[in-house]
Structure 1
Amino acid sequence: MNTQAVRAIYRFEMSRTARTILQSIVSPVISTALYFVVFGTAMGSHMGRTGGVSYGAFIVPGLVMMSLLTQSISNASLGIYMPKFMGTIYEVLSAPVSPFEIVCGYVGAAASKAMILGIIILGTARLFVPFEILHPVWMIAFLMLTTLTFSLFGFIIGIWADSFEKLSIVPSLIVTPLTFLGGSFYSINLLPPLWRKITLFNPIVYLINGFRWSFYDAADIAVGTSLALTLVFMAICLGVISWIFKTGYRLKR
Structure 2
Amino acid sequence: MNIYGIRAIYYFEMARTMRTLMQSIVSPVLSTSLYFIVFGTAIGSRMGTIDGVGYGAFIIPGLVMLALLSQSISNASFGIFFPKFSGTIYEVLSAPVSPLEIVLGYVGAAATKSVVLGILILITARVFVDYSIEHPVWMMAFLILTSITFSLFGFIIGIWADDFQKLQVIPLMVITPLTFLGGAFYSISMLPEPWQTLTLFNPVVYLISGFRWAFYGVADVNIAVSLGMTMVFLLTCMAAIWWIFRTGYRIRT
**TM class by smaller structure:** over 0.9
Kindly state the Cα deviation for residue 246 of structure 1 after the two structures are TM-superposed. 0.4
Q: Secondary structure of 1:237's partner?
A: helix
Q: Secondary structure of 2:49's partner?
A: coil
Q: Secondary structure of 1:90's partner?
A: helix
In structure 2, the partner of 1:59 is 59
In structure 1, the partner of 2:38 is 38
In structure 2, the partner of 1:132 is 132
Verify the 8 A CA contact 1:75 1:154 in the aligned structure 2.
yes
What one-letter code is carried by the residue in structure 2 that aligns with 1:244? I
- Equivalent-residue separation in structure 2 for 1:237 and 1:26 (angstroms): 28
Runs of 4+ off more than 6 Å: none
In structure 2, the partner of 1:2 is 2
- Equivalent-residue separation in structure 1 for 2:98 and 2:39 (angstroms): 46
What one-letter code is carried by the residue in structure 2 that aligns with 1:124? T
In structure 2, the partner of 1:84 is 84
Deviations 1:71-98 (A, max 9, x none): 0000000000000001000000001100
Deviations 1:28-56 (A, max 9, x none): 00000000000000000110001211000
What one-letter code is carried by the residue in structure 2 that aligns with 1:181? L
What one-letter code is carried by the residue in structure 1 that aligns with 2:208? I
The correspondence of residues 6-155 of structure 1 with structure 2, limited to 5 A, is 6-155=6-155
Verify the 8 A CA contact 1:72 1:150 in the aligned structure 2.
yes
In structure 2, the partner of 1:204 is 204
- Equivalent-residue separation in structure 2 for 1:157 and 1:51 (angstroms): 37
Q: Give the aligned length.
A: 253
**Root-mean-square deviation over aligned CA pairs:** 0.5
What one-letter code is carried by the residue in structure 1 that aligns with 2:36? F
In structure 1, the partner of 2:222 is 222
In structure 2, the partner of 1:252 is 252
In structure 2, the partner of 1:163 is 163
Q: Secondary structure of 1:193's partner?
A: coil
Deviations 1:96-153 (A, max 9, x none): 1000000000000000000000000000000000000000000000000000000000
Structure 2 gap ranges (5+): none
In structure 1, the partner of 2:190 is 190
Deviations 1:190-211 (A, max 9, x none): 0002000110000000000000
Kindly state the Cα deviation for residue 252 of structure 1 after the two structures are TM-superposed. 3.4
Kindly state the Cα deviation for residue 23 of structure 1 after the two structures are TM-superposed. 0.3
Verify the 8 A CA contact 1:40 1:57 in the aligned structure 2.
yes
- Equivalent-residue separation in structure 2 for 1:252 and 1:144 (angstroms): 31
- Equivalent-residue separation in structure 1 for 2:244 and 2:221 (angstroms): 34
Kindly state the Cα deviation for residue 68 of structure 1 after the two structures are TM-superposed. 0.3
What one-letter code is carried by the residue in structure 2 that aligns with 1:169? V
- Equivalent-residue separation in structure 2 for 1:189 and 1:52 (angstroms): 14
| Aligned-pair identity (%) | 67
Q: Secondary structure of 2:52's partner?
A: coil
